Amino acid sequence: MEKVIVGISGGVDSAVAAYLLKKDGYDVEGLFMRNWDSSINNDILGNPNDLNDICPQEKDYNDAVKLCEILGIKLHRVDFIKEYWDYVFKYFLDELKKGRTPNPDLLCNKFIKFDLFLKEAERLGASFVATGHYARLKGGKLLRGVDVNKDQTYFLADVPASHFRHILFPVGDLTKEKVRKIAHEQNLNVASKKDSTGICFIGERNYQAFVSNYLKPNPGDIVDVETNKVIGRHTGLMNYTIGQRRHVGVSGNLERHYVCGKNVEKNILYVAFGDNSKYLESDECLIENVNFISSLRPSFCTAKFRYRDKDHAVNLEYLEDGNIIVHYPDKAKSVTPGQACVLYLGEECLGCGFIKQVKNNKEELWYLK
């Protein structure tokens, strides 16, 4: 009987993954990863004196304990707090300092969930690890999850190809609706638990309040990109992302302005007015730190520039330094430095790179520099 260590998060997806593997005859054990010292959040944003205010991470752990009791499997707990800080959180802060929009979930998967977790599972004598991600592995290929609305291959695209040899995705062939149904049928304690949202180390807390404890707020001018006139003050460039329309900070007509760029050197936030989104459009980007999961190197494929983005038809220009120029002649909006550009060929996730530079009509967008 092959031993599998399942990453138990305290949510319904990993719960059903563990149930399905046990049902299929695997020797299943669970492992709860503690990646963040939640007392930091309480000290900064919460009320550490409120004994009833159990942090979400500890609630998740308590749910994981109860789940494993129901399933009759052993639960391990491991702390990767230092490693998460070194490999994920420092990167997150460094990217914000550069005026970019990082996605720490990809780094967490690369360095924590599908690296350190694999090593811990090996130490525990397991042949495989499993998670509740909506993705599929077939013939050495990483494929989109059957549920297109829950597909999570975008967040797995930076994981080295070799790591997938020892990974199982039990819910990848199921819809979220089916996963919930199984959880209810088996009377799992997390069957109705809501999915987690937001960045894992911030959770539902105030983003700006959290980040300001690590990066000193640096207010500056908000400039209209068309008139070059100062029309307001921003609270710090790290608090804004390209395409943002809410809480921009311009007096009056708040919903009519959108963020179209940042100048870190001059500490300027550029905005455009109205519904005309031409300043968000581009037709080319340069991606760096490229990771290929697939052995294929196509000239034409599709790309997603953010998780909830649609697929864009692209052609790829491979550079000698390993970077790739991604051309998308039909144009795309809000292609943002720091975000991942994930490449697909049909159902297969090929890998990704991180957006370094954005152009339109061969010109770098000066308000994105």
| Tokens 């007015």 -> residue | 273
Q: Which of 55, 108, 341, 349 is catalytic?
A: 108
Amino acid in position 252: G
The strands making up 27-34's β-sheet, listed across from edge to edge, are: 75-79, 27-34, 3-7, 128-130, 167-168
Question: Is 301 marked active-site?
Answer: no
Cα R_g (the chain), whole angstroms: 22
How many CB atoms lie under 10 A from the CB of residue 83? 14
Strand ranges (E), 214-267: 220-224, 230-234, 257-263
250 DSSP assignment? B
Residue 292 CB partners (closer than 8 Å, separation 6+): 161, 350, 351
CB atoms within 10 A of CB 59: 13
SS3 annotation, 160-211: CHHHHHHEECCCCCCCHHHHHHHHHHCCCCCCCCCCCCCCCCCCCCCHHHHH
200 is catalytic: yes
Please give the Cα distance from 12 to 185 (Å, whole number).
Answer: 13
The answer to whether 118 and 129 are in contact (CB under 8 A) is yes
Question: Which residues does the annotation mark as catalytic?
Answer: 108, 200
